[in-house]
């Protein structure tokens, strides 16, 4: 089928490329001419595993193309997927101006009837507004527009695998024709008729996805409800971690046992610096604002948001307690992206940690295998290193801010020798405390009961007798 994708960010690039991989004819457009030129040259402007290989293969097969001509792109597709950004406003509501711009573009430029599909994450009832805008601005009365919602459930770092082998596909529709057209678009994925190509190493074995057909309003709500629940799960794990520190329990042991309950599951129970990235923070805020406008109290979700914001404060306090004075200390940072397997630093906890350290006069060095170039545009004053051992050289502390598996494999014995003080403050509970302590490190993390060095124990009666003897003398 002929598909148009408007918006070439994370969601749009993955959507367009994977639809082409499924056999469709896809045209992608974006109002960023520089980005389109980059994509035409075969360069992927973001880091997402497997995406570059699929993009190159499908461009060469003439199933995937990029253009700045939005009018041509609108008219090339029978179905148009809107994948533009919906960033948060200052009050937390989703900014839907880009959705409105695209709707007016489609309404005024389309020469034939179209299925217009929301792929961007939007608040409930956005589809109803989209229908209204398409109708109001429609230039050709013979052109009909049908609207559907098809929320994305892509995780940065595994987005290609998530698209080609999803656990569920949600179709929010209001007519049989829209449902039939979307079923046909997703048929290769639903029937798992294609195998992972050779360059998709590690892709899970193909299995049929669950298709969920709902109303448009429900489909829109499903996305926000899902992300907000995951955010609450992360914040809950962090609250338990704080309690573990107070009562001498180990968060790793607690959440492991919790996760064995199939009603709970182990995912998103990792304590640490909290959630970041572009999706969870903005979706939580947008969901809360939607509830407020609808007269529903989302106090529980607000508290999850507050718990997440306090993680940085707690982490900085751990740094202060370990270093005493932060000013003029050499602090090394391992990890800048908001999560592993991406170069995305939007709403990354690392950014706020760096700001706080610089404000207190620390000298900061950092390493991240993918996210350093993006971070350098925000913090040109800090030093970026080519490999982790450079970060450790003469450092007073090392901070783990992203859970890159690479950091587990470092030669921590050598790193200990390089540092001025062997101190690690692990914001992701990534490392094994026993291993670090064997190498002479002072190790701090969230919610773990760490064995302190053994001290000579003096029984209370002996201590009292000694005290009395001292007083008598």
204 and 267 housed in the same domain: no
CB 3 within 8 Å of CB 81: yes
pLDDT tens-digit readout, 161-183 = 999 999 999 999 999 999 999 99
284 and 168 housed in the same domain: no
Catalytic residue flag (residue 279): yes
Task: Indicate whether 459 pLDDT > 60.
Answer: no
Of the residues 193, 214, 235, which one is the last residue of a structural domain? 214
Q: Range of 456's domain?
A: 226-473
Task: Indicate whether 455 pLDDT > 70.
Answer: no
271 and 174 housed in the same domain: no
237 and 165 housed in the same domain: no
Of the residues 167, 191, 214, which one is the last residue of a structural domain? 214
Mean pLDDT of 79-87: 95
CB 298 within 8 Å of CB 289: no
pLDDT tens-digit readout, 84-137 = 999 888 888 889 999 999 999 999 999 999 999 999 999 999 999 999 999 999
Mean pLDDT of 426-451: 91
Mean pLDDT of 216-233: 95
440 and 467 housed in the same domain: yes
Residue 204 lies in a domain: yes
Of the residues 167, 188, 214, which one is the last residue of a structural domain? 214
Residue 221 lies in a domain: no
**Highest-scoring range by mean pLDDT, 288-297, 362-371, 441-450:** 362-371
250 and 379 housed in the same domain: yes
Which pLDDT score is estimated for 176?
A: 96
297 and 373 housed in the same domain: yes
Residue 417 lies in a domain: yes
Q: What is the DSSP string of 335-379?
A: --SSSTT----TT-HHHHHHHHHHHTT-EEEEE-TTTHHHHHTT-
Quote the CA–CA distance of 107 and 194 in Å, as a whole number. 35
Residue 443 lies in a domain: yes
- In percent, the amount of the chain with pLDDT more than 90 equals 86
279 and 397 housed in the same domain: yes
At residue 91, the 3 state secondary structure works out as coil
Which pLDDT score is estimated for 450?
A: 73
Mean pLDDT of 139-150: 95
What is the pTM assigned to this prediction?
Answer: 0.87
pLDDT tens-digit readout, 362-421 = 999 999 999 999 999 999 999 999 999 999 999 999 999 999 999 999 999 999 999 999
Residue 108 lies in a domain: yes
Which pLDDT score is estimated for 460?
A: 39
Task: Indicate whether 452 pLDDT > 80.
Answer: no
pLDDT range class, residue 310, cuts 50, 70, 90: very high
Mean pLDDT of 425-435: 95
Residue 8 lies in a domain: yes
Of 8, 28, 279, 385, catalytic? 279
Domain count, the chain: 2
User: For the chain, how far is it from start to end, CA to CA, in angstroms?
Assistant: 98
Q: Measure Cα distances from 458 to 145, 260, 292, 465, 469 in Å.
A: 83, 42, 60, 11, 16
pLDDT tens-digit readout, 190-220 = 987 655 554 555 555 556 789 999 999 999 9
144 and 86 housed in the same domain: yes
344 and 446 housed in the same domain: yes
192 and 331 housed in the same domain: no
CATH number of the domain where residue 420 is located: 3.40.50.720
Which pLDDT score is estimated for 191?
A: 86
Which pLDDT score is estimated for 208?
A: 75
Mean pLDDT of 5-19: 97
Q: For residue 289, what are its two tokens?
A: 């604002």
pLDDT range class, residue 261, cuts 50, 70, 90: very high
Which pLDDT score is estimated for 209?
A: 85
Mean pLDDT of 143-150: 97
Show the CA angle centred on residue 405, arms to residues 196 and 305, nearest 5°: 95
- In percent, the amount of the chain with pLDDT more than 70 equals 92
427 and 467 housed in the same domain: yes
Residue 449 lies in a domain: yes
Residue 219 lies in a domain: no
Which pLDDT score is estimated for 437?
A: 92
Across the chain, mean pLDDT equals 91
At residue 209, the 3 state secondary structure works out as coil
Q: Which range among 278-292, 390-404, 442-456 shows the weakest confidence by mean pLDDT?
A: 442-456
């Amino acid at each position: 089928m002929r598909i148009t994708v408007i918006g070439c960010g994370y969601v749009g690039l993955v959507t367009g490329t994977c639809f082409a991989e499924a056999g469709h004819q896809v045209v992608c457009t974006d109002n960023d001419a520089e980005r389109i030129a980059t994509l035409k040259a075969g360069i992927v402007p973001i880091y997402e595993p497997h995406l570059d290989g699929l993009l190159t293969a499908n461009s060469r097969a003439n199933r995937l193309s990029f253009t700045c001509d939005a009018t041509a792109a609108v008219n090339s597709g029978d179905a148009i997927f809107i994948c533009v950004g919906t960033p948060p406003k200052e009050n937390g509501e989703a900014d839907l101006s880009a959705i409105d711009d695209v709707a007016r573009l489609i309404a005024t430029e389309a020469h034939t009837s179209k299925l217009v599909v929301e792929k961007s994450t939007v608040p409930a009832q956005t589809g109803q507004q989209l229908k209204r805008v398409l109708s109001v601005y429609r230039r050709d009365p013979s052109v009909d527009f049908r609207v559907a919602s098809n929320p994305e459930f892509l995780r940065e770092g595994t987005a290609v695998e998530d698209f080609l082998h999803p656990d569920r596909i949600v179709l929010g529709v209001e007519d049989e024709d829209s449902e039939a057209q979307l079923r046909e678009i997703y048929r290769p994925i639903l029937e798992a008729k294609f195998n992972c190509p050779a360059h998709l190493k590690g892709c899970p074995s193909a299995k049929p996805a669950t298709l969920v057909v709902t109303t448009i309003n429900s489909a829109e709500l499903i996305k926000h409800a899902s992300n907000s629940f995951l955010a609450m799960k992360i914040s809950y794990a962090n609250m338990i971690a704080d309690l573990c520190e107070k009562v001498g329990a180990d968060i790793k042991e607690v959440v492991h046992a919790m996760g064995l309950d199939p009603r709970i599951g182990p995912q998103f129970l990792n304590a640490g610096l909290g959630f970041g990235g572009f999706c969870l923070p903005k979706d939580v805020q947008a969901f809360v604002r939607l509830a407020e406008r609808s007269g529903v109290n989302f106090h529980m979700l607000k508290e999850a948001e507050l718990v997440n914001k306090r993680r940085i404060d707690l982490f900085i306090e751990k740094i202060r307690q370990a270093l005493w004075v932060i000013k003029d200390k050499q602090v090394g940072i391992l990890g800048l992206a908001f999560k592993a397997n991406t170069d995305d630093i939007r709403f990354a906890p690392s950014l706020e940690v760096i700001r706080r350290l610089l404000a207190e006069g620390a000298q900061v060095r950092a390493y991240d295998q993918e996210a350093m170039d993006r971070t350098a545009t925000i913090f040109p004053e800090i030093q970026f290193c080519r490999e982790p051992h450079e970060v450790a050289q003469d450092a007073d502390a090392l901070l783990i801010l992203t859970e890159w598996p690479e950091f587990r494999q470092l030669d921590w014995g050598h790193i200990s020798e390089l540092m001025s003080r062997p101190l690690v403050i692990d914001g992701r509970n990534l490392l094994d405390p026993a291993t670090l302590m064997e190498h002479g490190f002072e190790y701090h993390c969230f919610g773990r009961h760490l064995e302190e060095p053994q001290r000579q124990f003096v029984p209370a009666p002996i201590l009292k007798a000694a005290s009395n003897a001292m007083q008598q003398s």
